[in-house]
């Protein structure tokens, strides 16, 4: 008898965001005070406090366990290509799947899906499923469907054309929220902290079970190239490679903190103290400890509404605008930082990293939208890609911990000659070896924003082409 017939993610997930500006922010100016500041274009970037140390001659050799991530032009999502190989099929299918540490399972849009959210990317043509339903609630809609019957399906999954996974259970979504129509992705590759092996839904646990890795852990380093025409978004290191490259891609030894147990499988850590340094140099402390969820599927930061307002007040005094719907704007020339104290481990977040596009609306010139949003539906602080891009972050399923170190600001990688991959278009030569120097910052186009996604002491002050050798110099200074 089946003991599990319904797999439900009971938490509310947030949506990725391409543009944090909202159409009616000018109406919030009535009771707000605004300085006459420089625009974003003339703002001299201050950078993170800890990046001064950071360069490296590290070279990463891409292989089946070192996977390049791709990103969209807004730097709002990060994904990998996953191929589904069916023995009986004449053509295998490849799907771009959003890398999401906030989701418990992987899912792909089913061929039966007719909703707008399934309109832009390939869909999965397959019929053998389990009687097990799955459901995932997003802030703007619901995803539901059935799980693929892994033992009976006679299919394998291949990540980035090189890493083969057998008996991995993913979902086929029959309905997908409309916000997915903004992205050319077919679904989600969940990498949650849930270590359960029962259903084969945890990729890292399944890889270890198949002896593809010696430990159920992974590391990410997010890069956002802006000055080349590129979809390169960073690196995903699986299993033992997470430790191997920690010595070259991290500035300092990795320091880990335990994951707070939770039914959702979130990478949640207790933050004992949050403090801020404002543009004027004023230091202030947030009242109380918080639980922080580290989530690659969230573009910016999502806090409870009252907490988000309090943090903007700490950073900018009364020089910010709020619409009471969780959206904020602050002077584009503002400085400052937030410090997260994880039981003695201090993680910095510069105001630079929560600054999004400048408003062009009359009365809002010199004001930039904020990547830190307020949500009434989340009790936790969700720290997304805008935060994680500053660190080499290790997610350890086996030990239920997450570790951090400031990432190096410069590294190169060499593509595996056997991988069916392609290169960053950086205007380099067309010879077998090509290189490009790229830098990172946030960019986007103006749209109406939704939300980012719903639901020891130390201070840490596309598509590749089948060329034989590709060498890229990646700089995120």
What are the catalytic residues? 100, 295
d(CA 349, CA 50): 10
Identify the three-state secondary structure at position 181: helix
Structure tokens at 337: 């930082």
d(CA 41, CA 34): 18
DSSP state of 40: G
Nearest to 208 by CA among 66, 62, 397, 60: 397
In this structure, the dihedral spanned by the alpha carbons of residues 388, 391, 394 and 395, taken in order and rounded to 10 degrees, is -10
d(CA 328, CA 368): 9
Return the number of other C-beta atoms located less than 10 Å from residue 458's C-beta: 15
d(CA 245, CA 112): 42
DSSP 200-239: S--HHHHHHHTTS-SSSEEEEEE--B-SSB--EEEEEEET
Strands 471-475 and 437-438, bridge-based pairing: parallel
* 6: β partners: 133
Nearest to 63 by CA among 302, 306, 237: 237
∠ CA 141-143-145, nearest 5°, is 155
d(CA 224, CA 471): 17
Identify the three-state secondary structure at position 173: strand
| Burial label, 135 (beta-carbon count in 10 A; 0-12, 13-18, 19+) | middle
Give the 3-state DSSP-derived string for 306-362, with helices as H, strands as E and coil as C.
HHHHHHHHHHHCCCCEECCCCCEEEECCCCCEEEEEECCEEEEEEHHHHEEEECCCC
């Amino acid at each position: 008898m089946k003991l599990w017939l319904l797999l439900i993610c009971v938490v509310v997930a947030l949506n990725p965001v391409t543009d944090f500006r909202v159409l009616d922010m000018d109406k919030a100016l009535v009771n707000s005070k605004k300085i006459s500041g420089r625009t974003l274009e003339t703002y001299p970037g201050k950078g993170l406090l800890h990046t001064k140390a950071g360069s490296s001659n590290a070279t990463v050799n891409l292989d089946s366990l070192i996977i390049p991530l791709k990103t969209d032009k807004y730097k709002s999502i990060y994904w990998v290509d996953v191929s589904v190989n069916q023995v009986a099929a004449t053509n295998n299918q490849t799907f771009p799947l959003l890398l999401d540490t906030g989701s418990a399972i992987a899912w792909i849009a089913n061929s039966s899906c007719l909703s707008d959210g399934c309109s832009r990317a390939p869909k999965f043509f397959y019929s053998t499923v389990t009687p097990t339903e799955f459901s995932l609630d997003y802030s703007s809609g619901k995803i539901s469907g059935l799980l693929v019957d892994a033992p009976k399906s006679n299919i394998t999954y291949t990540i980035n054309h090189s890493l083969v996974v057998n008996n991995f259970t993913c979902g086929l979504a029959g309905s997908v929220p409309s916000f997915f129509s903004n992205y050319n992705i077919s679904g989600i590759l969940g990498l949650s902290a849930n270590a359960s092996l029962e259903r084969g839904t945890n990729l890292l646990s399944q890889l270890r079970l198949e002896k593809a890795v010696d430990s159920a852990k992974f590391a990410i380093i997010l890069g956002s190239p802006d000055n080349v025409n590129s979809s390169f978004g960073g690196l995903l290191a699986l299993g033992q490679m997470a430790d191997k490259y920690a010595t070259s891609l991290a500035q300092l030894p990795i320091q880990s903190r335990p994951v707070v147990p939770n039914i959702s499988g979130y990478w949640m850590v207790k933050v004992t103290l949050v403090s801020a340094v404002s543009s004027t140099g004023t230091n202030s402390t947030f009242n109380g400890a918080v639980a922080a969820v580290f989530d690659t599927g969230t573009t910016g930061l999502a806090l409870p509404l009252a907490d988000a307002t309090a943090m903007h007040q700490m950073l900018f005094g009364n020089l910010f605008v709020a619409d009471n719907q969780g959206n904020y704007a602050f002077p584009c020339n503002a400085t400052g930082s937030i410090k997260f104290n994880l039981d003695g481990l201090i993680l910095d977040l510069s105001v630079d990293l929560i600054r999004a596009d400048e408003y062009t609306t009359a009365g809002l010139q010199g004001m930039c939208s904020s990547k830190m949003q307020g949500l009434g539906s989340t009790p936790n602080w969700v720290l997304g890609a805008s935060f994680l891009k500053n660190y080499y972050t290790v997610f350890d399923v086996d030990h239920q911990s997450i570790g951090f170190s400031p990432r190096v600001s410069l590294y190169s990688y060499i593509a595996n000659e056997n991988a069916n991959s392609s290169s960053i278009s950086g205007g380099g030569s067309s010879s077998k070896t090509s290189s490009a120097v790229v830098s990172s910052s946030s960019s986007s186009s103006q749209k109406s924003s939704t939300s980012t996604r719903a639901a020891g002491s130390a201070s840490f002050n596309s598509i590749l082409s089948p060329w034989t050798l590709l060498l890229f110099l990646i700089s995120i200074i």
